[in-house]
Amino acid sequence: MDIEACLRKDYITNQVNDGKRLDGRKFDEYRDMEIEKDYVGEKACGSALVRLGDTRILVGISLNVGEPYPDAPESGVMTISTELRPIASPNFETGPPGGEAIEVARVVDRGIRESNAIETEKLFIEENKVWIVFVDIHALDHGGNLIDASGVAAIAALVNTRMPKYEDDQVIRGEWKGKLPVKCTPVPCTSVKIGDNILIDPSMDEEYAMDARLTVTTTDMMNAMQKGGQGTLKEEDILSAVDLSFEKGKEIRKVIESL
């Protein structure tokens, strides 16, 4: 059991019920978000570092040539993995990814996949050969709301990914030819319920105190949702989180697309 969570929960809940967040934000306000593209620009095909409050996520993109899935022989492949590195939190351990890391990867994956952001049909090379896009989410500092920071970092990195040169059945490392075709910018926005209040972009403390959370990934439509936490949500909670996610997603999308 988490002593810190237990001790802080009541205090944070009381503050929120009085309309206050510990860091002085409004309920519909994100923490400061900084996106730095090409953070590790020398080797990786694409990368982006996102700072969201105290949270820091680095995403790196690698491209390889491999076999397509049998049910989509003319489409490229995307795989997303998350590593919650032990450097990011005293609660993270080395070893194979646990439930939390897998959830982050799969929620980010659903948003990008279901919005068809990557034009995988353009990643076809020849029969049985397609580009494989590896998206590796690397958590460096856990200050709350890993999903949004990861999702933003992933799509920001993908939008700015270069394609390696491919000649005579060989990938030529260090030489580039064009950009990865990406046609839209899905943005996940996570709200939490504390008491009867809906707050966007939970900090670490607010994640301790939350009853439930809801992530909604939007483009011009909704592309993915994920409820988390042991608490319950009413239909009106969900609808207000959806509205909030559309609104904030639009603002964040503008930032990503202007990078």
Partner 1 sequence: MAKDDVELIKNGKRLDGRKFDDLRKIKIEVGVLKRAVGSAYVEWGKNKVMAGVYGPRELHPKYLRDPTKAHLRCIYNLAPFSVEDRKRPGPDRRSVEISKVSAEALSSVVMLEKYPNAGIDVFIEVLQADAGTRCVGLTAASVALADAGIPMRDLVPACAAGKVSGEIVLDLMKEEDNLGECDLPLAIIPRKKEIVLLQMDGKLTKDEFKKACGLAVDGAMKVYEMQKEALLSSINNVRIEE
Binding site for partner 1 (CB under 8 A): 1, 6, 97-100, 102-103, 105-106, 110, 113-115, 214, 221-235, 238-239, 242-243, 246
Nearer to partner 1, 40 or 102 (CB): 102
Q: How far is the CB of 1 from partner 1 (least distance, A)?
A: 4
Instruction: Give dist(CA 186, CA 116) in Å, integer.
Output: 9
Q: How far is the CB of 212 from partner 1 (least distance, A)?
A: 8
Query: If you count them, how many residues does the chain have?
Result: 259
Nearer to partner 1, 199 or 225 (CB): 225
Instruction: Give dist(CA 136, CA 49) in Å, integer.
Output: 12
Nearer to partner 1, 51 or 142 (CB): 142
Instruction: Give dist(CA 241, CA 247) in Å, integer.
Output: 10
Q: How far is the CB of 180 from partner 1 (least distance, A)?
A: 20
Q: How many beta carbons lie within 10 A of that of residue 126, not counting itself?
A: 8
Sign of CA dihedral 45, 51, 56, 57: negative
Nearer to partner 1, 105 or 123 (CB): 105
Q: How far is the CB of 13 from partner 1 (least distance, A)?
A: 16
Q: How many beta carbons lie within 10 A of that of residue 123, not counting itself?
A: 23
Q: Give which of 146, 140, 176 is closest to 160, Cα–Cα.
A: 176
Nearer to partner 1, 128 or 230 (CB): 230
E strand segments, 102-145:
124-126, 129-141
Q: How far is the CB of 237 from partner 1 (least distance, A)?
A: 8
Q: Are 117 and 68 in contact (CB under 8 A)?
A: no
